[in-house]
């Protein structure tokens, strides 16, 4: 069945370094991808999205890369800050018929001061 997974459950990064969080998806028909950030005790928060007709999209300090050939998604965070510490989820969205969003398990990002 459809699934979205993450390669690394926990990622520790030094403050100021760049972080890269990876995600694999299995549904080649997925046409929209989203990264969410979930801080402790809070609900997931939208970070950045990308449509399947794009390979790269940049936001403020974040960049999402999409490689449809290998069904891989990554989130790059530049100059990681302590406030970036959270669990990051990728989600794939297949809009055929109705919206169907599948979330990955999540990667915990720990920023070391």
Partner 1 sequence: DSGVTQTPKHLITATGQRVTLRCSPRSGDLSVYWYQQSLDQGLQFLIQYYNGEERAKGNILERFSAQQFPDLHSELNLSSLELGDSALYFCASSPTWRELPDTQYFGPGTRLTVL
Binding residues for partner 1, rule: CB under 8 A, are: 31-32, 34, 36, 42-46, 49, 51, 89, 93, 95, 98-106
Residue 53 gets which letter from DSSP? T
Q: Which is nearer to partner 1, 76 or 102 (by Cβ)?
A: 102
CB of 84 to partner 1, least distance (A): 18
CA-wise closest residue to 21 among 97, 109, 113: 109
**Closer residue to partner 1 (CB): 99 or 113:** 99
Q: How many CB atoms lie within 10 A of CB 73?
A: 25
Phi, psi of 71 (to 5 degrees): 50, 60
**21 vs 89, beta carbon nearer partner 1:** 89
- C-alpha neighbours within 13 Å on the C-beta side of residue 58: 3
Least distance in angstroms from the C-beta of 91 to partner 1: 8
């Amino acid at each position: 069945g459809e699934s979205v997974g993450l390669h690394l459950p926990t990622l520790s990064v030094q403050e100021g370094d760049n972080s890269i969080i990876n995600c694999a998806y299995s549904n080649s028909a997925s046409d929209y991808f989203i990264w969410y950030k979930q801080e402790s005790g809070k609900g997931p928060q939208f970070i950045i999205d990308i449509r399947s007709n794009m390979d790269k999209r940049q936001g403020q300090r974040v960049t999402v890369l999409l490689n449809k050939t290998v069904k891989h998604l990554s989130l790059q965070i530049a100059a990681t800050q302590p406030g970036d510490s959270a669990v990051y989820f990728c989600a794939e969205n297949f809009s055929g018929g109705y919206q169907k969003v599948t979330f990955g398990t999540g990667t915990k990002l720990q920023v070391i001061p």
